[in-house]
Amino acid sequence: MLSIAFVNTKAGTGKTTSAVWLAHAFAAANRPVLLVDADPQGSALEWSDLAESFPFRLLPMASEKLHLRILDYARPDEVVIIDAPQLEDHAGIARSALRFADEVVIPCAPTVVEISRTAPMQTEIEAMASVRLLPPRSAVLLNRAVTNANSIPAAREAFGSMGFDVLRTLVPRLELYAQSYGAPLPLAGADIWCDLAIDLINRAETPEMAR
């Protein structure tokens, strides 16, 4: 089992969009997937309803005991993807996701404001590591990025100086992703999320991989 949680301190960082697109990428590669909607707002669940279901299992579980309960539902061969709520409003649930996941993915746009707002995630991850058997892997996913813009290497450098890993895959700022909520996902644009899936699998197999 590979478990991945999308977490950030604030709302509006692209957690649900990232979780759903990544789940589709794994499912398209014939990997069994369980998407856990841990956000009390139920955004992934609503998306599934609007899209007339997803091609993978979806479990609503907005619980502070998620880390204890999820194995009652997840199958041993599944990729478990958790769409966690923002820490500032639902700290107990988000921290429970941090306690469970093998990999914590932190979506963030490459802007000074977003980088600053994301910085406290390092402290949260370190705090949860103290109550786990093994510390989680964690990395920033740069999203809503303008291809070839100077902001991208600047963001990588800023996060690196704060001790964050930054994933190789970059999610560009496209209307395709911004407007995808509530609709079945098209084949166009899926290659980015397939690349992200490969990145995360490689990190699981080789945890010491560099930024």
pTM for this structure?
0.95
19 token code pair: 């979780």
What's the mean pLDDT in 37-42? 97
Report the amino acid identity of residue 119: A
Residue 16 has pLDDT above 60, yes or no: yes
> In this predicted model, what pLDDT tens digit does every residue of 74-109 receive, in sequence order?
999 999 999 999 999 999 999 999 999 999 999 999
Nearest Cα to Cα of residue 83 among 6, 23, 157, 140: 6
What residue ranges define each of the domains in the chain, with the CATH number in brackets?
2-205 (3.40.50.300)
Euclidean distance between CA atoms 162 and 85, whole angstroms: 23
28 C-beta neighbours (distance < 10 Å), count: 17
Nearest Cα to Cα of residue 118 among 13, 37, 17, 41: 13
Euclidean distance between CA atoms 1 and 128, whole angstroms: 20
What's the mean pLDDT in 179-208? 91
Q: How confident is the model at residue 1 (pLDDT cuts 50, 70, 90)?
A: confident
Residue 208 has pLDDT above 70, yes or no: no
Q: Which helix (H) or strand (E) holds 188?
A: none
> In this predicted model, what pLDDT tens digit does every residue of 166-182 receive, in sequence order?
999 999 999 999 999 99
Tell which wins on pLDDT, 208 or 60.
60
Q: Are 92 and 15 in contact (CB under 8 A)?
A: no
Mean pLDDT taken over the chain: 94
